[in-house]
Each structure stands twice: as structure tokens, then as C-alpha cells.
């Protein structure tokens, strides 16, 4: 059995031995990123299309009793790879987005492991209708703009090094953060968000210059796209607060480092 690799898995393991821990697990689940078997757009055998407009093809299984579809998903990539030894394509996305996409279909968390959990349509509806304002640990979901922010499960070392090298030429920039962002109305899948914080305002041309200085070959993250975001103390969108309070910076200018 693999050891828990993130807070969600720790909460799942704890809830298995203590039912009083279950609410904390469900709260973390709706706030976290999850992994599932599937591909983007590419249709093929063994996939289940939720509707004609769906931009993801999500692999499903069939229940033994009635052959109805059930979709497996996982708390981490290592659990997925343990449960599914074949080299199957997978996606990572916010759990809240996944639940909304698959609403009405039965789900099973971490199948073929010691800590599996089946969720029917009613279970998912309850999770989606829970108090969003209380979700303040690893993930934030804004129901009005349908924007979700998440922590990265793995850090893109090569990309961080490339960005650090570029930012070293811009003394105005004090700190930089990484997170994932997903806006369903604008994007077909989550992408990387690079937050830049400075003592003053960041010029838009400067940000474009920084972006153009980073080669796509250096992007070793799980995301094809990345955007830049100016981090401020009075951000009305709440994105800056998430980056500063829920993430650890990957870059600090020499003058701002604590010795």
C-alpha cells in the first residue's frame, strides 16, 4: 500500500478508520484536484462522452450488476498508476469541475485499492451544493465567474528555472508563484498560472516581454498553456490572495530573501 501523498489522501485514510473524520475528507475532496482516465477531444474506443458538446473523452467502466457506466477517478497520480498498471492516458482537473461535468453518472474513487469509495448522483449533488465559502484550504471555487484555482501536485523544475533566469533581469519583480487555473467559460482545460508580485505596477509590455523570453521547450509542467497574473494586495478577484496565502513562492528577488 502506498503512503498518502497529499492532504486529500491523508484525510481519506483517516476517515476510513474514524467516521468523524469523513466531513473533513469530503470538504477537501471538493476543493482538490483529482486524476481520471481520459483524453482531451480525441475520441476512441473505451471512452464515454457525457454530451455532444463535451470537450473531454472520459474513460468509464461498467457495473457488474446492471452494466451501467461508472467513472473511476483518483486522489493522486501515484494511486492511479498503482490501480491502473497500463500506460493509460489521464487528465488532471479540479474535483468540482469534474463533478459538474459528470453529474448524473456514478463515480468510484481510487478503485482497486484498499481505500475505494463509490459516489452516486445524490452524493455528488450534495458535495456540489455544500457551502463554497468554507472551502479555504487547498482550493478555491468562485461560483459567479466559474473560476477554480488549485495547487500544483508536482512542480515543473525546468520551467521554474527558466522563469527564474528571466526574472533575474527584472529587479522590479520581487516574488513569483505558480498555481493552476480553470475558467470553463473561456478554457477547455485547466492551465498554469504564473503570479508576479512587485513593489509597484507591472507594465503590460514588460509582462509580454517576460512571456516571450520563455521557450515552450522549457515547459515541463502538466499544462500546455500558461498565463501571467499581477499579484496585488487589493485584488478584488481573490486570485492574488490564493497565490500568496495558499502557495509557496518559487522565486524571490535577492533583495527580498530572508537570511
How far is CA 28 from each of CA 156, 178, 225, 245, 254, rounded to the nearest angstrom? 24, 20, 26, 17, 35
- What is the spatial distance between Cα 224 and Cα 239, in angstroms, rounded to a whole number? 21
Residues 6+ apart with CB under 8 A from 145: 183, 185, 237
Query: Which runs of consecutive H residues, i.e. helices, occur in 84-192?
Result: 95-101, 121-128, 157-167
Can you give the residue ranges of every domain in the chain? 7-139, 147-256
Q: What is the pLDDT of residue 131?
A: 44
Regions of the chain with pLDDT less than 70:
1-4, 41-55, 130-147, 184-188, 255-259
Q: What is the pLDDT of residue 226?
A: 84
Q: What is the pLDDT of residue 3?
A: 60
Q: What is the pLDDT of residue 177?
A: 93
| Domain 147-256 in the same topology as domain 7-139 | no
Q: What is the pLDDT of residue 236?
A: 79
CATH fold of the domain at 7-139: Trna Endonuclease; Chain: A, domain 1 (3.40.1350)
Contact yes or no for 180/153 (Cβ under 8 A): no
Contact yes or no for 13/4 (Cβ under 8 A): yes
CATH fold of the domain at 147-256: GMP Synthetase; Chain A, domain 3 (3.30.300)
Contact yes or no for 164/150 (Cβ under 8 A): no
Amino acid at each position: 500500500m502506498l503512503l498518502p501523498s497529499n492532504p486529500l489522501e491523508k484525510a481519506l485514510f483517516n476517515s476510513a478508520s474514524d467516521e468523524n473524520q469523513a466531513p473533513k475528507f469530503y470538504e477537501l475532496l471538493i476543493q482538490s484536484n483529482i486524476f481520471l482516465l481520459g483524453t482531451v477531444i480525441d475520441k476512441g474506443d473505451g471512452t464515454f462522452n457525457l454530451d455532444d458538446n463535451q470537450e473531454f473523452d472520459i474513460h468509464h467502466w461498467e457495473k457488474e450488476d446492471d452494466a451501467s457506466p461508472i467513472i473511476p477517478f483518483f486522489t493522486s497520480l501515484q494511486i492511479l498508476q498503482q490501480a491502473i498498471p497500463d500506460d493509460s492516458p489521464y487528465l488532471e482537473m479540479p474535483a468540482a469541475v469534474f463533478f459538474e461535468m459528470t453529474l448524473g453518472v456514478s463515480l468510484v474513487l481510487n478503485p482497486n485499492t484498499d481505500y475505494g469509495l463509490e459516489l452516486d448522483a445524490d452524493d455528488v449533488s450534495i458535495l456540489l451544493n455544500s457551502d463554497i465559502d468554507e472551502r479555504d484550504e487547498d482550493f478555491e471555487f468562485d461560483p459567479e465567474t466559474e473560476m477554480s484555482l488549485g495547487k500544483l501536485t508536482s512542480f515543473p523544475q525546468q520551467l521554474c528555472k527558466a522563469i527564474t533566469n528571466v526574472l533575474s533581469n527584472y529587479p522590479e519583480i520581487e516574488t513569483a508563484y505558480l498555481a493552476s487555473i480553470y475558467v470553463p467559460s473561456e478554457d477547455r482545460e485547466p492551465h498554469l498560472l504564473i503570479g508576479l508580485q512587485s513593489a509597484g505596477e507591472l507594465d503590460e509590455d514588460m509582462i509580454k516581454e517576460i512571456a516571450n523570453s520563455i521557450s515552450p521547450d522549457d515547459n515541463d509542467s502538466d499544462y500546455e498553456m500558461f498565463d501571467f497574473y499581477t499579484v496585488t494586495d487589493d485584488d478584488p478577484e481573490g486570485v492574488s490572495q490564493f497565490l500568496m496565502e495558499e502557495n509557496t513562492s518559487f522565486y524571490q528577488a535577492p533583495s527580498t530573501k530572508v537570511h
